[in-house]
Structure formats: structure tokens, C-alpha cells
Structure 1
């Protein structure tokens, strides 16, 4: 078993891996819009933005690798799915976006350089090379994130959190939009849209391999330790998100102005203006430190997980080779700019996220299924079809009667159009499988991949 110190380091690492810059800047806007419903909204947010990723992390860690969740699917589909997942959350979409967020929100406001193509490329190269240094040795990466990066990040966040609670900038206003109707449900939707389940599917393998280096390979032990370490992360994330929601709810003084052009349009602006109002010029450096550290820990974790997966395809193209490849690819793709990447990333995520969530949820009932293989394939087939329609809708390629028909599906306006059809497909698969003479549960045993 792990010592208390090692358990704390592991929990801190998990916290830092999940805490990307996007997770810091999203809750303030939700808090601002939810007004005096900020607390109930934040509770809903914690269900899908913290609890669901936590369950995913534990599930993947017990299985050893995220890929073990798809053993009941056709091998060609599983490979395509995992390649797509690691590329989307990695070097083709999400990690270049993280790099650009670090540049535009963390570094540029410090006023040390001018914004142009040369400084952008230079920053991206240095930032990614520095991250690569932590990735090249997986054991060193765990220590660096858990012992050094996370404590520094936590100190900065605690300073901001105490100041926000002790000296809120303005009274809390009335909620707007759907937050006024049902804050808790709106929070559930907001938490779902962080799409942290994708990250958890990658990070679960990191936790399993970290424990393997400590000589812990038994799935039950891994599950127990991951739950304990994950609870440290859950408590830290919950406390942070509550502070950020409260920050947003009390940000009216820095979010709304007589000139609408000056109004805050995203959580990053709210967070930055709030910190500046509390700390003055020091706030710019606080904001910069938080964004840079949060971005780097996520970049290191996701890229490491992607490299580890791609290294399984050929023994000569190992982990370090893919770390270098993905570092260079992230640097190159990041030159397209943040706005372009955001436009492309959302449809791509809408395509694979429902499948990811479904794979995790099915894992909890797999041992009860008469025919896991059939149930998985039938349900996932429907989920993929609905996800495709949702993606086409997002790209505005879905028109006419099909668009009208899709709009009738409950929750489709929130990107959850797959949920009800998926539940129906799951129920139908259970009924059909009752007629099967034999079960196919022989591949259900957990396996820790070394």
C-alpha cells in the first residue's frame, strides 16, 4: 500500500491533471448567469463535472487502461475510437487550444512581449518543450506534478479564493435564462459540457501505471487507492468550483457596464477582471501563474497518455518517440489560433463524447448483462448515429425535415439528444438478449496493463 505522503502526492496529481485552464474560466460565467441560484447550480455542476469524471477515473484505473472499456466492440471500431479520442483531446485539437489559452490568457497580459506570429510560435515552442521535459520520464512526471506544480497552483488559487470570499465585489443578482427556471439542472448541463470524462479516460491509465511502478498490480488494491486519491482531488475541485461560482455570482461590478461593448463575454474575462480588481497589478501575475500552471499540468498528462497509447502499435516507435511527435504537432497546430481551434473542437468532441460516457456507464452493469457484446454494440450504434446528427447540427449541415425531427428529441438543445435514444436502445438490447441461449461474459475480468 502507499504511504500517506505518496497518497497525497497522487491525489494532488489527479487534481492538477483535471484542472485545465478551461475548468478555471468556465464556472465564473455560470456563476454570473445563475445569480442567487449559484449554489444549487454549482451542486449540479459537481455531479457531472466532478463526480462522473471521478467514477470514470476509478473504472479505468481498475481496468488498467481506458481501452479495456471497449473490449466488447468490434476491434476496428475500438481502435478508430481510441485514436480519435487521443488525437482530439491531444495534439490535433485540445492541447493546441490549451497552449493558445496559456499564451493569450496567461502570458500576454503580463506585458512582456507584443502579440504577433513570431512571439506566438516562440512561446508555443518553449511552452511545449518545457512540458516535454516532464513527460520524457513517466516516473519523474508524477513527482513533478504532484510535488511541485500542484502545490504552487494551489497556493495561488487559495490566495484568490480567500480574497473572493472575504471581499466580494458586488451583491448577487437575479438569475437569467434557464438558471432562473432550474439552477440544479442547468448546472448538470454545464458540468456535462466540460467533457472531463474524456480526460478521465486518459488519466485513469496514468494512475494505474503510477501504482504499478510502486509494485501495486492487484485490481482491487488499485481501485481502493484510486478512490482514496481521487477523493482528495474531488474535495479540492469541489472547493475550487464553489469559490469560482461564488466569484461569478458576485462579479456584477466587473461584468456589466453602461456600454454593452465592455460587458464580459466569457468566464476568463470575469475571472481576470475580478482578480485585477482585488489585487491590482499583482492580480495580472496571479492570473498568469494560475493559467500557465493549470495549462501545463493538463498538457503533460494528456500528451503522456496519448503517447503511451500510440506506443502500443509498434515496439520500435516507443513512448518517447510519440512524446516528441505530439509535442511538435501541438506546437504546429497551435499556430492556427484559439478562435479557429474552438470552432473545430466542439463538433469533434460532440462526436465522441457521448460514446465515451456510454462506455463508462455500461461498465457498471456489464457483469449483469446476459450478452455484453450484443448490448454494447447495439447501444453504441444508436449513440454514434445520434452523435453524428448532433455534430452535423453543430456544423449547420443538418437542414429541413431532419433538423426539425431532431429538434423534437428531448434535451437535444443541450447536446444531449443521444441520451433518451441511448436508454431506449439499451432497454431493447436487454429484451432481445433474453432470447439468446448463451452468454458472452468470458472477457469481463479486469486486467492491469503494465
Structure 2
């Protein structure tokens, strides 16, 4: 049933879906690293951390189904793409990161001294139980937890800005600040998650009477703007706090930075409250991601939902124990390959491109140059690294962009020439 405030309600829902506890760890570190260039870094972070996720929802509203999102490349590619996507947001990166974040931001600062593997094992036993026994409790926790975390963060950001942690100084990296923020937004994994969450959003819109594609797209755009403003305020505030602490030589990890700001502004009770909220928020996110992964693989294999859930929880527990830093490091090459493909698919779906040849040419070109970037950045070959560095926008992380646009244009032009020739026969 439609209501006047539906746009606002769906805007908050989209915000809650994208705003996870893990997202808190990247903006402060980017601010500390880029210093007085934090606004430039923020613009890059906002593109991949805010604009792309909303664009992913709009793109999914056009595709309407996970089986159609990349099917114009091929059915096999669509399956392979979503398999890698689910593995990335699931047991390989996303799920273990929630447990590692809960440990480093919620458990270690308040309890300390506990073995990470023991903690992650207990954590995923709880996750397994909740996945196999779903209840309204988790929905209620998620509904009320986000406002609590936002309230605490608002106090931290406002009080921190008034206190002043210092004056932003020079950046401490050689990398372009925009690209550093851009790749920081990659790490939130919200853009690649958006094509999965799109199914939930579209289903919710249909349940509320928005059955036409044009209505769904309009609602997603308007609600996305509301959620985007909220995320920009939170991310911007944390980036600024980090930038102010740029010259303090804190030497803290990403997780420790957030807790440091909470401790300075709110004291011991503040760090305990934020730590508890983050731990529970990570738990709810884990339950949702494990359920998504188990659903996806059980529907496409002979293995049972229960068996896959056990496997996902076990792998995630082991990876989580390696630490947040290690998980973020191994995420870089995977996301470097997945993100360009996702950006291309989002753009082609939004533009309503129908020609499968344009899809294939764009995707395979983008993937080829993404793999080239991973190889070049690995240091395996100086000649490959040199070749990569002369490509346009390679320092900004967009080496794939110009070749993809050229191939897309050539394929589209060739298609038009073939069509004209066929008409003249």
C-alpha cells in the first residue's frame, strides 16, 4: 500500500542496507592518509561508495532478475559473474571481514587477550544457529541498531570537530588522492553488493504497489538520493576527523582509528557502547550474507542449504582469524577485477543497451585490462608494469576505461554498418 512518505522510508532502508559497521573503518584512514587533500579523496570515495551502489540498484530495476543482469554477455558468464560476486561478498571477503571487524572494534578493545580463532569460531557458531533458525529478533535488532550507531557517531563527529584533533597536513602517500579514495570506496563492496540487494529492494517496492518499472526506477533514484545524502554526511565527517589527525603520527590501524576517536570524544563508556553496537551490527550482517550465499549455492548445486551454511561459516571463521588487515589486503586484486566489470554492467543496463555484442566487447575488454592491472601491480614484471603505467588514467585506477569505450564504440559502429548494408541488399 502506497504512502506519501514511501520515498523517505525506502531511503532509510537503502541507507541501512549499505551502511555496515565495516564501512566505518575506511573513511578515517583515508582522511589520515590524504591530509589536506581529504576532499579530493572524498570525491573518489563517494563515487564508488555512494553513487555506484545507488546506480547498481537502478541497473537492477531494469534487469529485474539476477539471471538477466549479465545474460547478454552469455548465460555462462552471468553464472560465473554472480558466483564470484557471492564468493566475494560472502566467505572470501565480506563475511570474514564482519567477524574481524567485530573482534578488532568490539571485542579486543573491551575484553582483550582473547584468541582470534576462538572468538571467530564462537562468532560463527552463533551465526550458524541464527541462519538455521531465523526469527524477527534479527530484523528488530537491525532496525533499531542503525539509529543507535548513527547517534553515537554523530556525537563523535560533532564533538571531535569542535575539539579539533589537529590541522590537516600533507598526504603521506605517493598515490593520487582521488584514486586512493576511489579504491577505498571499492573496499566497502557496496557497489557489487547492490546488484544482489537490488532484488530485495525491487521486491519491497512491488509489495508496496510499485509494479511498473518506471515507478520502481523513480523510487530507487529518489530514495537513493536520500540514502546518499546520509552516507555522505557520515563518510564526510569521518574523513574530516581522520584528516585533522593527519599530523599526529598515531600509527593506528583502520579499526583502531574509529575507536580512538570514540575514546577521545566519549571516554571509556563511549568506546564500550560503540564496540557493543558494532559487534551486534556485524553479526546481523553476517547472518544476512551467509543466508544469501547458502541460498545461491544450494539452488545451483546438489549440496544442501545446511551443508553449504556449515562450509561458509567454517571458511569464514578461519579467514576472520587472520585479521582485518590481511582480509583487506587480499580483497584488493579481487575487487580490482570485479569492480570494472560491475561498473560496465551497471552502465549498460541503465543505458538499456540490448546488443549482446556491445556487452561482450565492453566486458571482455574491461576484464582484460583489469587483469593486466593486477599483474602490473604485483611486481612480477617491470616491463608489464611500465606498459600499464603509460595507459591513460592508469594512475587513477581507470586504465580499463578508454580501451573499453573504444571497443564499445567500434562494436556499435560496426553493428550499424552491418544493419545499413543489410537494408540495402
TM-score, reference length from structure 2? 0.86
The partner residue of 2:371 within 388, 391, 394 is 388
Quickly say closer, same or farther: Cα 1:41–1:100, change in 2 above 3 A. Answer: closer
CA distance in 1, matches of 2:36, 2:214: 43
Aligned twin of 2:251: 264
Secondary structure of the 1:173 match is coil
Residue 115 (1) aligns with residue 115 (2): yes
* 1:354-393 alignment, distance < 5 Å: 354-367=340-353, 372-393=355-376
The partner residue of 1:167 within 163, 177, 193 is 163
Aligned twin of 2:99: 99
Once the two structures are superposed, what CA deviation does each residue of 1:385-404 show, in whole Å capped at 9, x if it has no partner?
A: 112222333444x3153333
* Structure 1 stretch displaced more, 341-350 or 424-433: 341-350
The partner residue of 2:232 within 229, 238, 247 is 238
* 1:416-427 alignment, distance < 5 Å: 416-427=398-409
Q: Does the 8 Å contact 2:62/2:349 carry over to 1?
A: no
Task: Give the number of aligned pairs.
Answer: 421
* Structure 1 stretch displaced more, 162-171 or 331-340: 331-340
* Structure 1 stretch displaced more, 288-297 or 25-34: 288-297
**Unaligned runs of at least 5 residues, structure 1:** 257-262, 440-450
Q: Does the 8 Å contact 2:69/2:78 carry over to 1?
A: no
Compute the displacement of 1:96 (Å).
1.0
Compute the displacement of 1:146 (Å).
5.8
CA distance in 2, matches of 1:31, 1:13: 27
Q: Does the 8 Å contact 1:27/1:245 carry over to 2?
A: yes
Aligned twin of 1:247: 241
Residue 87 (1) aligns with residue 90 (2): no
Compute the displacement of 1:425 (Å).
1.6
Q: Does the 8 Å contact 2:166/2:244 carry over to 1?
A: yes
Q: Does the 8 Å contact 1:18/1:298 carry over to 2?
A: no
Residue 222 (1) aligns with residue 226 (2): no
Secondary structure of the 1:23 match is helix
Q: Does the 8 Å contact 2:105/2:256 carry over to 1?
A: no
Q: Does the 8 Å contact 2:104/2:255 carry over to 1?
A: no
Quickly say closer, same or farther: Cα 1:375–1:92, change in 2 above 3 A. Answer: same
Residue 428 (1) aligns with residue 422 (2): no
Quickly say closer, same or farther: Cα 1:61–1:110, change in 2 above 3 A. Answer: farther
Aligned twin of 1:132: 131
Compute the displacement of 1:40 (Å).
4.3
Compute the displacement of 1:21 (Å).
3.2
Compute the displacement of 1:248 (Å).
0.9
The partner residue of 1:406 within 375, 385, 388 is 388
**Unaligned runs of at least 5 residues, structure 2:** none
Quickly say closer, same or farther: Cα 1:41–1:93, change in 2 above 3 A. Answer: closer
* Structure 1 stretch displaced more, 71-80 or 399-408: 399-408
Aligned twin of 1:260: none
Aligned twin of 2:324: 338
Quickly say closer, same or farther: Cα 1:31–1:332, change in 2 above 3 A. Answer: closer
The partner residue of 2:266 within 261, 279, 293 is 279
CA distance in 1, matches of 2:92, 2:16: 22
Aligned twin of 1:144: 140
Quickly say closer, same or farther: Cα 1:323–1:13, change in 2 above 3 A. Answer: farther
CA distance in 1, matches of 2:296, 2:211: 19
Once the two structures are superposed, what CA deviation does each residue of 1:167-199 show, in whole Å capped at 9, x if it has no partner?
A: 2222333445568xx755654454355443111
Compute the displacement of 1:28 (Å).
1.0
TM-score, reference length from structure 1? 0.81
CA RMSD of aligned residues (A): 3.3
CA distance in 1, matches of 2:61, 2:308: 22
